Amino acid sequence: MNRRFGFFDATALTLGFAFLYLPILILVVYSFNASRLVTVWGGFSTQWYVSLLQNEQLLQAAWISLRVAFLSAAVATVLGTLAALALVRYGRYPGRTLFTGMVYAPLVMPEVITGLSLLLLFVAVDFDRGFWTVVLAHTTFTMCFVTVVVQARLVDFDRSLEEAAMDLGCPPLKTFFTITLPLIAPSVLAGFLLAFTLSLDDLVIASFTSGPGATTLPMRIYSQVRLGVTPEINAVCTILVALVTIGVIIASLATKRSAVARQ
């Protein structure tokens, strides 16, 4: 195998990762800035975190977002896993082309279209907009991401274990819960975490489908950002980045452990 990793490659990686990480790093550093100005370093301070804790509106929005993310990710994980099984394990069935289309299209669909169409659905069936409409909307667009993640694991799944269990008389449902599910669990967990962060992150779809009293954190951040950069938002962002980093580390440790266990 001839893979020469040269000077050019090292430069590409260094510049690439600097580009990806510097803006986030700057944001984190400046969330501890005592000065209100972005360009002036006024010394280390945690005052923005303190004032954040006193900002009722932001805290309430964060609480709504967390609940929406948890509920929608939970449902999306179940639906997405079923969809992945349907794509990988089932051969031809009526509507399969339509089904694959409906699974892949939301991955690339511009959010304004998804948001608008779901809003019009909720209006058409006369469903009051609010917390639950956001949950339904987020479930729909995140389940397809879960499908892709779980599908990747199912494709290179060793089916001989399942077959052995069934040959020994284990019913299919029990086989699924005792053999299949534990083996694909890391990807299901990764799918859940991805759905959770996508939901926590979404501004556009939530703006369309939300109603009074259900303002999510991104909606709140967006309206504050439009008024100008405030250090408080830097602090919110730092907390979110920290949460995501911890989540990803947990997920990757879980995957690694199961990979070691498999060997």
Partner 1 sequence: MAPRPPDRGAFGRALGALVPAVPFLWLTFFFLIPFVIVFKIALSEPATAQPPYRPVFDLSLGLEALSEAFSQLSFYNFSLLLEDSLYFSSFISSLRIAAVSTALLLAIGFPIAYAMAKAPERWRPTLLMLVILPFWTSFLIRVYAWIGILKPEGLLSALLINLGLIGEPLQIMNTDRAVFIGIVYSYLPFMVLPLYATLEKFDYTLLEAAEDLGCPPLRAFWRITVPLAMPGILAGCLLCFIPVVGEFVIPDLLGGSETLMIGRTLWSEFFSNRDWPLASAVAVVLLVLLVGPIVAYRDIEARRWEKAK
Interface with partner 1 includes 102 (CB under 8 A)?
yes
**Interacting residues with partner 1 between 186 and 225 (CB under 8 A):** 194, 197, 200-201, 203-204, 207-208, 218, 221-222, 225
Q: How far is the CB of 187 from partner 1 (least distance, A)?
A: 14
- Candidates 43, 44, 56, 156; binder of partner 1 (CB under 8 A) is 156
Q: Environment class of residue 186 by beta-carbon count within 10 Å: exposed (0-12), middle (13-18) or buried (19+)?
A: buried
Region binding partner 1 by CB under 8 A among candidate stretches 47-55, 56-64, 164-172, 181-189: 164-172
How many residues in the shown chain lie near partner 1 by CB under 8 A?
Answer: 100
Interface with partner 1 includes 118 (CB under 8 A)?
yes
> Which residues make Cβ contacts (< 8 Å) with residue 179, sequence separation at least 6?
161, 162, 165, 170
Region binding partner 1 by CB under 8 A among candidate stretches 10-18, 56-64, 66-74, 178-186: 10-18
Instruction: Return the bridge partners of 143, or none.
Output: none
181 neighbors 91 (Cβ within 8 angstroms): no
* CB nearer to partner 1: pick between 53 and 259: 259
DSSP symbol at 6: -
Interface with partner 1 includes 61 (CB under 8 A)?
no
Q: Environment class of residue 120 by beta-carbon count within 10 Å: exposed (0-12), middle (13-18) or buried (19+)?
A: exposed
DSSP symbol at 178: I
How far is CA 52 from each of CA 47, 65, 66, 100, 182, rounded to the nearest angstrom? 8, 16, 17, 44, 41
Region binding partner 1 by CB under 8 A among candidate stretches 48-56, 66-74, 133-141, 181-189: 133-141
Interface with partner 1 includes 183 (CB under 8 A)?
no
- Candidates 120, 164, 250, 253; binder of partner 1 (CB under 8 A) is 120
194 neighbors 148 (Cβ within 8 angstroms): no
Interface with partner 1 includes 44 (CB under 8 A)?
no
